[in-house]
Amino acid sequence: MERYFQPEIECMERPAIEEHQLKQLQWQVKRVYENVAMYRERMDDAGVKPEDIKSLDDLSKLPFTTKQDLRDYYPFQLLAVPKKQIVRIQASSGTTGKQIVSGYTRHDLDDWANGFARQLVAAGGDDHSIVQVSYGYGLFTGGLGAHQGAEKVGAMVIPTSSGNTERQIRFLCDLGSTHLCCTPSYAMYIGETVKEMGVKNQLKLKAGIFGAEPWTEEMRHQIEEALGIKAHDVYGLTEIMGPGVSYECSMQQGMHICEDMIIPEIIDPDTGEVLPKGSFGELVLSTITKEGQPLLRYRTRDLCTLDYSPCECGRTHVRMRKPAGRTDDMLIIRGVNVFPSQIEEVLLRNSIEVSPNYQIVVDRVNNTDTFDINVELSPKFTGDVDAEKRKLETQLQSMLGIKAKVHLLRPKSIERSEGKAKRVIDNRKLHD
């Protein structure tokens, strides 16, 4: 069994976890009621007082919070502490409307570092590891989140940030990096460039920790093959804390949520009703130890299931399955729900013929949605382009239940991203 970073917490029995969660929940509800006007007003409207939270089931009495709330109360109206106690601001990478900002106290940063440190240890990291952090640094939580978690473990950190891929690869080879942290799409790009440079045998990498965007199991296998590593999924949100909200152990059967800091629920995204254990629905998170900007019953918009069964690694914290999509990333095209991850799954099945680098372009012509998918051909492709196009269109229609027009492009003609990949261009908004 692998070495644990915090076994006294990560391996707590379920009754002890729930006892801790209830105590922290009661503390947090009292704090936000007394210090955050939005919560006090909404709880009063719902007829709920802090003293009404007598069990974890009473969490459902509290109102939801959403991303729109963070915009409406921007920038500091959701703080539960005086502004002088906030030592860092992180912000979302969104480009529409007001950015989402979240304030962190020193205690909050320590919790967040612990969350990512657990991920690093679960991926085989320790104080002898060399961790190359190729997430972007700055307001985006990826770079600083991975950095502070690696330092918590005592590892050597190489803060390369994203970009300058050939230099990244030189560092991987020359400095002997054992762990790579970046987005999965950038890991794919690094893998492609490693192959072009012919230096795979110079890599010392053992594992990668990839998050910040959705990726499929097929993409995991391609990254593992390209870099010769085990690829781990990590989950985080700017609003809750960055990467480290949940993390994969060596079993890779879901991501353990840090239940000592966060209470998860699964709800029906349409009705808001809490669903029974094991149900598929929208993930809702409540921060029970966060001081600066706590969020109760925050609707993540991610769709997944929670697995409370024992994990072979020995950790007892509930596992969330890889999100199947997001309610706010879902495209509705001609009345059909389409998730980008479904398209990626089809393309990765055909990895010999095409690249997983793609873009979805949606538009509206004569009041009808158009649906085009630009796909790069693989450098290895030697077949019939028209036949390949027809094959992909048939497979995509079978997966999505709607016909898309596929455009096969020459290799590397779609712009590569060194941060989060831009997969969707929805031009319908221009006609509204």
Query: 376-411 burial by CB neighbour count: b if 16+ within 10 A, else e?
Result: bbbeebeeeeeebbebbeebbeebbeeebebebbee
Per the rule left: phi > 0, alpha: psi between -120 and 50, beta: everything else, 212 is left
Strands 368-377, 405-409: pairing kind: parallel
CB of 177 within 8 A of CB of 168? Answer: no
Regions in the chain scoring below 70 on pLDDT? 1-4, 93-98, 328, 416-420, 432
Indicate the SS3 state at residue 134: coil
pLDDT score of 410 = 92
pLDDT score of 4 = 56
Element (H, E) at 106: helix 106-122
Distance between CA atoms of residues 117 and 114, nearest Å: 5
Structure pTM? 0.83
CB of 142 within 8 A of CB of 23? Answer: no
pLDDT score of 96 = 46
210 strand-pairing partners: 182, 233
Which domains are present in the chain? 1-324 (3.40.50.12780), 331-431 (3.30.300.30)
Listed as own residue / partner, the contacts of 143-148 with beta carbons closer than 8 Å and 24 or more positions apart are: 144/90, 144/242, 145/112, 145/116, 145/236, 145/241, 145/242, 145/243, 145/244, 146/116, 146/181, 146/209, 146/243, 148/109, 148/112, 148/113, 148/116
Indicate the SS3 state at residue 40: helix
Distance between CA atoms of residues 293 and 315, nearest Å: 28
Q: Give the CA count within 13 Å in the CB-facing half-sphere of 218.
A: 14
Structure tokens at 164: 């300058």
CB of 251 within 8 A of CB of 312? Answer: yes
Cα torsion 202, 206, 210, 214 to 10°: value is: 90
CA distance between the termini of the chain = 56
pLDDT tens, residue by residue, 136-152: 999 999 999 999 999 99
DSSP 8-class letter at 201: G
Handedness of CA 79, 83, 86, 92 (dihedral sign): positive
What length does the chain have?
432
**For 363-424, what is the HEC assignment?**
EEECCEEEEEEEEEECCCCCCCHHHHHHHHHHHHHHHHCCCCEEEEECCCCCCCCCCCCCCE
